[in-house]
Structure 1
């Protein structure tokens, strides 16, 4: 039996709440709503998209409030920032130290995190060998997700 997107979201939200409780982090209603909005999207979401998503529930929220909320979620490992999009995606492994890479679809913007300390370690060791000092490492791969690649093949096959 397949797990629905809503069930998957509920499981991930419950995991986030348990992590927050275990570590004494205040997952306030606003923080929970922002995190839930990010979870609901299968793509990276920008701060202003989050403001729009919150408006029906909370009314107009100042952008600084959402940015502070995003800072909390980032600092505590609930979300990652997608540098190329200036947007945010839910972490696939809350509470598990890891370094991830991101697959970003150019067509539909679906964003998938792939945990992989091995690649991150390899990159981290290669840079110093070249005399380069790494301050932050972000790996984002852009291309087409499977459904978009399939649709693109169909588009090119049509007369």
Structure 2
């Protein structure tokens, strides 16, 4: 697992640790569990924190990437939302996606208090997202540049 952040800045993994600790409730526990599943599934995952602004207490949003964004972990009053950047292109045989289903690109999993996420099904989605990101990146590298006229 790699951290990507600004030189001299707090490493993203510590920012995510702080975010989880600051929550101090079921949302922090849920975010920690999801994070652990992501890191177990893909040890090469890159953790980042993006979109730090006053509306989220400058804590930002945890982002997990490998060859592109896999998913984000947003925290709301009543849910933890995992948004898969290319979720519409992923098979979801276990039916984990329960939000953003009308979108053409993203899909999300809303986890509410008392709900337990199927760890194996989430790991399968993560593996599929990584495979899609890596294959898309490989295609971009092998396609010839458009001819200039």
TM > 0.5 between the two?
A: no
Structure (1 or 2) with the larger CA radius of gyration = 1
**TM-score normalised over the length of structure 1:** 0.30
More helix by share: 1
**TM-score normalised over the length of structure 2:** 0.31
